[in-house]
Amino acid sequence: MDAELWVPEYDTPELWHKEISRRCFVKGGISSFLGLVAMQHFSSNSLAQLEDVLPRAKHCIVLFMSGGASQLDTFDPKPGTKNGGPFTAIPTSVEGIEVSEHLPRVAEQTHHLSIIRSMVSREGNHERARYLLHTGYAPGGAVRHPTLGSLTSYYLEETLSDLPSCVNINSPTYSGGFLGATHDPFVVKDPMKPVDDLSYPSQMDTHRFRERLKMLKAIEEDFISKRTGRSTEAHEAIYKKADQLINSPKIDAFHL
């Protein structure tokens, strides 16, 4: 006969058996162990397959529409329901997906899109929700999380050119957070105007500017060595990035 193993009674007896046989206990343990081994095996295979996948995209443009149109008026009209939007839904190039009547050109290109209609959030405050969307984390505590562009900059650091790897145009911006000021976005405040300070001031050339940078570094060296921190790192990173940008042959990208 199987020996009986006594299990103490809990407040939720429907979830527990008071007695369980040794055979069932061993059988359950072996099944769990084999399941864990199989899961690790499949996970390893999945990770190996992911490592073989090379990303094709070289650039990413995020349009974050502060105060933009409702999803009911654009990509999720919900026709025929009490929660539906005021506009007519039209078919798209993907069977079963409809968008607002005001997006006829978008409807033609829907087969190139990935429309997410299942996103939810507990954040009711706009500023907190904006932070969540830009960083992937709800704000809280002293940790400042990096924005999406800063994360991209960090992981592509070895392949970066002398141009900014993360550019933020005319919208609420977030920093590189704990990744450091090196990965802060380059902010263009007004895309309809030339970017400020992309060239040397009058009577300044590359040689004089380099000499001034050397003098500045010598003056600040003692101060910086005794006062390490984000502010110090940001100060150094800004000067370094500015120098690279001004002297880059690719600076014409900003001359629109």
Higher pLDDT, 218 or 173: 218
Q: Kindly report the average pLDDT of the chain as a whole number.
A: 77
Q: Residue 12 has what pLDDT?
A: 43
Pair type for strands 19-21 and 98-100: unpaired
Residue 14 pLDDT > 70 = no
Residue range 50-107, pLDDT digits in tens: 556 666 777 788 888 777 888 899 999 999 898 888 899 999 999 999 999 999 999 9
CA terminus-to-terminus distance, the chain: 86
Tokens 């527990």 map to which residue? 16
Q: Of the ranges 123-127, 149-153, 165-169, 224-228, which one carries the lowest mean pLDDT score?
A: 224-228
Residue 9 pLDDT > 50 = no
Residue 139 pLDDT > 80 = yes
Alpha helices by DSSP H, the chain: 22-52, 104-108, 126-135, 148-155, 206-226, 230-246
Q: Residue 3 has what pLDDT?
A: 47
Higher pLDDT, 220 or 256: 220
What is the C-alpha to C-alpha distance for residues 90 and 104, in angstroms, rounded to an integer? 8
What is the C-alpha to C-alpha distance for residues 189 and 169, in angstroms, rounded to an integer? 6
Please give the structure tokens belonging to residue 164.
Answer: 């900014």
Residue 15 pLDDT > 60 = no
Q: Residue 100 has what pLDDT?
A: 95
